[in-house]
Amino acid sequence: MKTTQRVRRAGLATVAALVIGGSGVAVGTAIADPATPAAAAATTTPAAAPGPELPGTHPGPASYAGVVKKVLPSVVLIRTANGLGSGVVLDTKGNIVTNAHVAGDAEEFQVQLAGNTSPRSAKLVGTYPADDLAVIRVGNTSGLTPATFGDSDQAQAGDVVLAIGNPLGLSGSVTQGIVSATDRAVTEPSADGSAAATLPGAIQTSAPINPGNSGGALVSASGQVIGIPTLAAGSPQGGGQAQGIGFAIPSNLARDIATQLIETGHVTNSHRAAIGAEVSTVLGADGSPGGVGVVTVTGGGPADRAGLRAGDVITAAADQQTPDTTALSQALAAAQPGDKVAVTISRDGQDRTVQITLGQLPGS
């Protein structure tokens, strides 16, 4: 059995570079002064009067079984000729959202509902690799339970979350963690010769995301889907998966892209910024990345209007160095179409900085 969505791994050694902005959580430990004997402290320190209860200090529930029972029927197992993954039921019409890398090049799928081993046939509705999202539609819609989606913009570091999916084909598996940070920009590894996808605004979570979880549900403690798990960080030692560092596509983005795919079969509004040029990484004399070479520019597009031309090498954008195409994608990840950014280019051995008004990344 092969899990084609594997979990997608981003090298941990590069996570610091891949992560842009976001809010995090730090946990410290108070250490008693070793010069003060514990017994003496106990006899000389009066008991403190109870203070006001701080918000958010209530202990969590002893069990999340109720949440799992509510969400599990909405998470399905997806099989292709090349592997398996997970998906989340969107509606009673049979539409299911998953990762584009789970769908791969397949046009037909077998879908298995939780607690039901009988497979159901499904077909591809549309896919958008730039955001690693796809929608498939199952023919037999009986018994489908649409998930309840929450507002991912309300997710914050410290929130308890559950990851529900089918790791290694173990259907209906659940792991638990917290939201570690929000608004991360991470880049997936390229596969099968395709360009690597940079995902802006990702939710970082400590809930384990294992091979087979991709396309499943990241769920709040109230049972609302706030993300689609898609990526796990890789450890720099041995290339294995780093524990406690996973990423999910925000539910607001997933619903928006899925709606477009359902309505037209394509993405017509990516909400993503772009410079309007085909680029590739340029290697320096020592073989290391030395910048982003402009291969072609789109006529009348942002790069063309700013005066960029084929042969230019982009070395910085939005105040960030761009040694390769991944770095450029991440520099633009937080920007919106219409924003103006400073771009430094090298042309004929001279550096110059130009202002580019960003356009929109094309849809599918």
From 173, 167, 155, 165, select the one nearest 220 (Cα to Cα).
155
**What is the per-residue DSSP string for 147-170?**
PPB--GGG--TT-EEEEEE-GGG-
Q: Is the dihedral of CA 68, 69, 75, 78 positive or negative?
A: positive
List, by residue range, all CATH 2.30.42.10 domains of the chain.
273-360
**Cα gap 173→155, rounded to integer Å:** 23
**Cα gap 118→128, rounded to integer Å:** 29
Enumerate residues 6+ apart whose C-beta is below 8 A from 183: 21, 22, 23, 200, 201, 202, 334
By the 8 A CB rule, do 173 and 166 touch?
A: yes
Phi-psi sector, 50: left (phi>0), alpha (psi -120 to 50), beta: beta
- pTM summary value: 0.76
The CATH code for residues 8-20+147-250 is 2.40.10.10
pLDDT tens for the chain, residues 1 to 364: 444 434 444 433 333 323 333 332 222 223 333 333 433 333 334 444 554 544 444 556 778 999 999 999 999 999 998 889 999 999 999 999 999 999 999 999 999 999 888 999 999 999 999 999 999 999 999 999 999 999 999 999 999 999 999 988 888 899 999 999 999 988 877 665 456 678 889 999 999 988 888 999 999 999 999 999 998 876 666 666 677 899 999 999 999 999 999 999 999 998 888 999 999 899 888 888 889 999 999 999 999 999 999 999 999 999 999 998 888 988 888 788 999 999 999 999 899 999 999 999 887 6
The CATH class of the 273-360 domain is mainly beta
How far CA 147 is from CA of 72, 75, 137, 138, 263, in Å, comes to: 9, 8, 15, 15, 19
**Cα gap 44→245, rounded to integer Å:** 44
The CATH code for residues 66-138 is 2.40.10.10
Enumerate residues 6+ apart whose C-beta is below 8 A from 187: 10, 18, 196, 197, 198, 199, 326, 329, 330
List, by residue range, all CATH 2.40.10.10 domains of the chain.
8-20+147-250, 66-138
**Cα gap 303→322, rounded to integer Å:** 16
Tokens representing 25? 């959580």
**Catalytic residue ranges:** 101, 132, 214
**Cα gap 183→175, rounded to integer Å:** 22
- Predicted pLDDT of residue 284: 83
Q: Which amino acid is at 177?
A: G
**Cα gap 186→203, rounded to integer Å:** 10
Give the Cβ contact number of residue 358 at 10 Å.
Answer: 24
